[in-house]
């Protein structure tokens, strides 16, 4: 009785924890009462242009967007998707615009319309602070060099890698790229000079060793031929901010000077590991809550799908069995990350509609888990001796009634441990959905690291949180399995 009570109390706690945090949403909405609300995609791991601190989105791009919206009187909502996911979302018309330190290039002009430039950037190379052997491009021959995909740094490094004979190692965000260099796995990295300057200013153990290469300016982007009104408002607002001095104030707030190349280099007082972890804990706890919520929602729909297709697989209808088999083979065979990209980016682009991020993520997780739940239920039903069905039918019960009242109650005892194991798997799989911009525990860790660069402390906390929850669920599975064996 005590073990049973502990099991159900633990499950109730996980459900309650997930639902209680459901109201948390890391989106920012401009305070304006009239007009359309525009969805703006960004990458909040690109300090000092966009990053998160104390639950708020801040940075040059975020402050510019807020000031322009106030100047022009429109509403907007920030979608923190990550750079690559935001680009795909913009192409698929899932968002109306994108501001993410996005360089204006001829190639991108083929797909997007850009605003007037709002920042003139450039590329520099950085190495570890104690590295005295890499002083220029000539020293990179035979070495690994870290770059962030989709950036001017990536483009510039690609253009010279054959000449100087080095290998590129791509990453999705700047913090991961910097960690690659500080850990010694790569000898150098290329990035936009204000981003590296800000990271060094925050205490990151890097130093720049080259002069700034000329790069493309940053611009606000919309999909080609769409949202012209939003683009006009952005350009008008930007011109007004530059005229009244508000633009210079915003840039100086994060770089120390409105003049490129004169950024403040005075680092803030270093924080202890305990201070870093204490500050990060509330946001990570919210991320854990969202992970639990997405897991519960996904498994709810996965169970419904599994029940339907499992009955089809054990039924007598050949057509139904074929459909169920195709369902299982397709959604077990497609990698979850590919399924997420297809559902959230591919389908809206093909059929011209907008899909909420949570719908795309939960749908991908549900279909993936549903294929496995189908096999769990099928295996549980077929593990019951055939004589049970024959005995029920001999008493006059229909096949459906016998299945519901005789077979399923016995099969559920066999299936419960597997269901809890699938819960563990789906909980871990939510981290994969961070690739399409879903904010859960793993993505929360990435966002925090983009601000403080404390990879060891933050990833340790994320790992421990996953470990605690999964250990509880594993113990539940073990307890249930022992009880069913005794039964």
CB of 26 within 8 A of CB of 434? no
Domain 31-118+217-266 matches domain 274-486 at the CATH topology level: no
Q: Which of 68-72, 159-163, 317-321, 405-409 has the lowest mean pLDDT?
A: 405-409
More confident residue, 479 or 339: 339
Expressed in angstroms, the distance from the first to the final Cα of the chain is 14
Per mean pLDDT, which range of 32-46, 229-243, 298-312, 340-354 is the poorest? 32-46
What local confidence, expressed as pLDDT, does residue 176 receive? 87
Whole-number percent of the chain with pLDDT over 70: 89
Indicate the pTM of the whole model.
0.78
Segment of 18-27, 151-160, 194-203 carrying the highest mean pLDDT: 151-160
Checking if the pLDDT of 75 tops 90, the result is: yes
d(CA 366, CA 306): 10
The reply to whether omega before 108 is within 30° of 0 (cis) is no
Question: Which range (216-220, 247-251, 299-303, 413-417) has the least confidence?
Answer: 413-417
Do residues 326 and 374 make contact, with C-beta atoms less than 8 angstroms apart?
no
Of 228 and 45, more confident = 228
- Strand stretches in 149-199, DSSP E: 167-171, 188-192
In angstroms, rounded to a whole number, what is the distance separating the alpha carbons of residues 26 and 82? Answer: 13
What CATH number should be reported for the domain whose range is 274-486?
1.10.3720.10
Angle (CA) 23-25-30 rounded to 5° is: 120
> CA 3 to CA 457: how far, in whole Å?
35
Could you read off the pLDDT of 322-332 as tens digits, one per residue? Answer: 999 999 999 99
What pLDDT is recorded for position 411? 82
| 134-178 pLDDT tens trace | 999 999 999 999 999 878 899 899 999 999 999 999 988 888 899
pLDDT recorded at residue 17: 46
Per-residue pLDDT, 285: 94
Q: Find out whether 388 and 406 touch, Cβ atoms under 8 Å.
A: yes
How sure is the predictor about 484, in pLDDT bands with cuts at 50, 70 and 90? Answer: low
Q: What is the DSSP letter of 413?
A: H
**Could you report the per-residue pLDDT of 232-257, keeping only the tens digit for each?**
999 999 999 999 999 999 999 988 75
Among 108, 32, 43, 117, residue whose Cα is nearest residue 76: 32
Q: What pLDDT shows up at residue 304?
A: 95
**pLDDT score recorded for residue 20:** 45
Give the per-residue pLDDT at 487.
58
Q: Where are the beta strands (DSSP E) in 88-215?
A: 97-98, 112-114, 122-128, 144-148, 167-171, 188-192, 206-208, 213-214
Report the pLDDT value the prediction gives residue 4, as an integer from 0 to 100: 47
Distance (Å, rounded) from C-alpha 293 to C-alpha 62? 28
Q: What local confidence, expressed as pLDDT, does residue 486 receive?
A: 66
C-alpha dist (Å) from residue 118 to 99, 114, 247:
10, 11, 9
- For the cut 80, the answer to whether the pLDDT of residue 400 exceeds it is no
3-state secondary structure of 381: helix
Where residue 78 falls (left for φ over 0; alpha for ψ -120 to 50; beta otherwise) is: beta
Q: How far is CA 309 from CA 315, 322, 383, 409, 456, in A?
A: 10, 10, 17, 18, 44
Per-residue model confidence (pLDDT) at position 389:
79
Sign of the CA dihedral with 173 first, then 174, 180, and 186 last:
positive
Locate 357 and state its tokens: 């991020």
- Determine what percent of the chain is predicted with pLDDT higher than 90: 58
Per the model's pLDDT, the better-predicted residue between 203 and 185 turns out to be: 185
Position 394 scores a pLDDT of 83
What is the arithmetic mean of pLDDT over 452-471? 92
User: Above 60 in pLDDT, residue 262?
Assistant: no
Please tell me the predicted confidence (pLDDT) of residue 269.
Answer: 65
pLDDT exceeds cutoff 70 at 268? no
Looking at the domain that runs over 122-214, which CATH code has it been given? 3.40.190.10
Q: For residue 203, what pLDDT band results from cuts at 50, 70 and 90?
A: confident
Token couple for 64: 């510019």
DSSP per-residue string spanning 89-124 = HHHTTSSSEE-SS-B--HHHHTTEEE-S--B--EEE
**Half-sphere exposure of residue 7: CA atoms within 13 angstroms, side-chain side:** 17
Q: Which residue has better confidence, 7 or 404?
A: 404
Q: How many CB atoms lie within 10 A of CB 207?
A: 14
142: Cβ–Cβ under 8 A, 6 or more apart, which residues?
165, 166
What pLDDT shows up at residue 325?
Answer: 95
Residue 3 scores a pLDDT above 50:
no
So what's the pLDDT on residue 256? 73
3-state secondary structure 350-415: HHCCCCCHHHHHHHHHHHHHHHHHHHHHHHHHHCCCHHHHHHHHHCCCCHHHHHHHHHHHHHHHHH
Mean pLDDT is highest, among 53-57, 371-375, 481-485, for 371-375
Average pLDDT of the chain is: 86
Sign of CA dihedral 411, 416, 418, 422: positive
pLDDT of residue 275: 87
Report the CATH architecture of 31-118+217-266.
3-Layer(aba) Sandwich (3.40)
For 146: left if phi > 0, alpha if psi spans -120 to 50, otherwise beta; the answer is beta
| Dist CA 371 CA 373 (whole Å) | 6
List the domain boundaries for the chain: 31-118+217-266, 122-214, 274-486
Whole-number Å distance between alpha carbons of 183 and 459 = 15
Q: How far apart are CA 24 and CA 441, in angstroms?
A: 13
The pLDDT-based confidence of 428 (bands split at 50, 70, 90) is very high
pLDDT at 82: 87
Which residue shows structure tokens 């899932």?
94
- The whole-number pLDDT of residue 16 equals 47
- For residue 27, pLDDT over 60 is answered with no
């Amino acid at each position: 009785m005590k073990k049973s009570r502990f099991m159900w109390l633990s499950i109730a706690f996980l459900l309650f924890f997930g639902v209680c945090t459901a109201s948390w949403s890391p989106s920012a909405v401009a305070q304006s009462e009239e007009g359309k609300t525009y969805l703006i995609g960004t990458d909040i791991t690109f300090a000092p242009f966009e990053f998160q601190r104390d639950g708020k989105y801040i940075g040059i791009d975020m402050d510019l967007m807020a000031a322009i919206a106030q100047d022009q009187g429109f509403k907007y909502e920030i979608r923190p998707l990550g750079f690559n996911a935001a680009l795909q979302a913009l192409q698929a018309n899932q968002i109306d615009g994108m501001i993410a330190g996005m360089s204006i290039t001829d190639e991108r002009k083929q797909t997007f319309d850009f605003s007037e430039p709002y920042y003139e950037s450039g590329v520099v190379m950085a190495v570890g602070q104690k590295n005295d052997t890499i002083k220029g491009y000539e020293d990179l021959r035979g070495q690994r060099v870290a770059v962030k995909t989709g950036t001017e740094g990536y483009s510039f490094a690609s253009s010279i890698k054959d000449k100087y004979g080095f290998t590129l190692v791509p990453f999705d965000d700047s913090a991961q790229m910097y960690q690659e260099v500080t850990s010694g796995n790569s000898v150098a990295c290329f990035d936009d000079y204000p981003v590296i300057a800000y990271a060094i200013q925050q205490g990151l153990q890097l130093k720049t060793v080259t002069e700034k290469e000329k790069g493309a300016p940053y611009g606000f982007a919309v999909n080609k031929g769409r949202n012209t009104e939003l683009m006009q408002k952005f350009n008008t607002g930007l011109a007004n901010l530059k005229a009244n001095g508000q633009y210079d104030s915003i840039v100086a707030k994060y770089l120390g000077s409105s003049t490129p190349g004169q950024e403040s280099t005075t680092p803030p007082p270093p924080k202890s590991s305990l201070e870093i972890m204490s500050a990060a804990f509330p946001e990570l706890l919210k991320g854990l809550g969202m992970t639990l919520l997405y897991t519960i929602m996904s498994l709810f729909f996965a169970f419904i799908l599994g029940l339907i297709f499992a009955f089809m697989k054990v039924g007598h209808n050949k057509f139904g069995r074929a459909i169920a088999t195709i369902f299982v083979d397709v959604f077990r065979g497609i990698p979850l990350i590919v399924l997420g990209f297809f559902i959230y980016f591919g389908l809206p682009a093909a059929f011209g509609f907008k899909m909420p991020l949570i719908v795309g993520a939960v749908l991908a997780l549900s279909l993936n888990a549903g294929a496995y739940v189908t096999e769990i239920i099928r295996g549980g039903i077929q593990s019951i001796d055939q004589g049970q069905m024959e005995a029920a039918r001999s008493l006059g019960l229909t096949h459906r009634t016998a299945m519901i009242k005789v077979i399923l109650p016995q099969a559920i005892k066999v299936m419960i441990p597997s269901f809890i194991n699938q819960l563990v798997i789906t909980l871990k799989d939510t981290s994969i959905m961070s690739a399409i911009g879903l904010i859960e525990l793993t993505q929360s860790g990435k966002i925090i690291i983009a601000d403080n660069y404390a990879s060891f402390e933050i990833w340790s906390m994320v790992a421990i949180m996953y470990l605690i929850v999964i250990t509880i669920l594993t113990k539940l599975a073990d307890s249930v399995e022992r009880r069913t064996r005794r039964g």
